[in-house]
Structure 1
Amino acid sequence: MTKADECTAFASPLALALLLPLAACAKQVSSVVSAAPDTPGFLLGAWHGFIFPVAWVLSLFLPDVAVYAVPNNGGWYDFGYFLGIVVFGVGARKTKTVTVVKWRERR
């Protein structure tokens, strides 16, 4: 292993270890969390997560389209958004695994 490979192998986990506590300090601003009845909640969060790929592409070209609703009701919207992306949307791809086994006779 070269000296550059050792440095790279050490720098990546170090950068992650330094950035993780910084990410833990992230907090949603209370002015964007609303308790009004028409504020997006869990179900709209799930829907927005499900349509995320389409909304993301549209947001590149249309300034009125966003991928995340602000204001929202906080944690429940975030949880629905997460489920929409991971379970119902991008992460729910059907895959087909084919295993081929070939037998050879040994001589």
Structure 2
Amino acid sequence: MNRKSWLVIIGLVLMCISLTGCVPGDGTNTSENPAGLFWGIWHGWVAPISLIIGLFKGTIRIYEIHNTGWWYDLGFYIAVISGFGGISLSRRKKRSENN
């Protein structure tokens, strides 16, 4: 493997480690300090990582239970739809060979 490959691998590992610092259920949010719109957006983006961590650590979930309600839900769904659904919306249709 060349140097560029190693830098990419190290970068991906560091990014994954940093993403695990702010997953739902980590104790950052409480009933006195609930998660709001921006935390909802963040938790929607890291939902796949939260799901994997939740398999090994029971307190981690993909959704923060201590949240502000509708605003948190809006942020969460915006992130999930734009992060995952946006991928399929941006794909180009292949041109048929008959054209």
* TM-score normalised by structure 2 residue count: 0.59
What does 1:42-81 align with in structure 2 at a 5 Å threshold? 42-81=37-76
In structure 1, the residue matched to 2:84 is 90
Q: CA deviation at 1:101?
A: 3.8
Q: Provide the secondary structure at the position in 1 that maps to 2:78.
A: helix
Partner Cα distance (1:83, 1:97) in 2: 24
Which consecutive aligned stretches of 4+ in structure 1 deviate over 4 angstroms post-superposition?
none
Write 1 or 2 for the structure with the bigger share of helix: 2
Instruction: Point out the structure with max Rg over C-alpha.
Output: 1
Q: CA deviation at 1:64?
A: 2.7
Shifted more, 94-103 versus 38-47: the winner is 94-103
CA RMSD in angstroms comes to: 1.7
Partner Cα distance (1:68, 1:58) in 2: 13
Q: CA deviation at 1:50?
A: 1.1
Q: Which of 36, 39, 42 is 2:34 aligned to?
A: 39
In structure 1, the residue matched to 2:98 is 102
Q: Which runs of 5+ in 2 are unaligned?
A: 1-30
Q: Which runs of 5+ in 1 are unaligned?
A: 1-33
**Given residue 74 of structure 1, which amino acid in structure 2 is its aligned partner?**
G
Q: Provide the secondary structure at the position in 1 that maps to 2:76.
A: helix
Equivalent residue pairs, number: 67
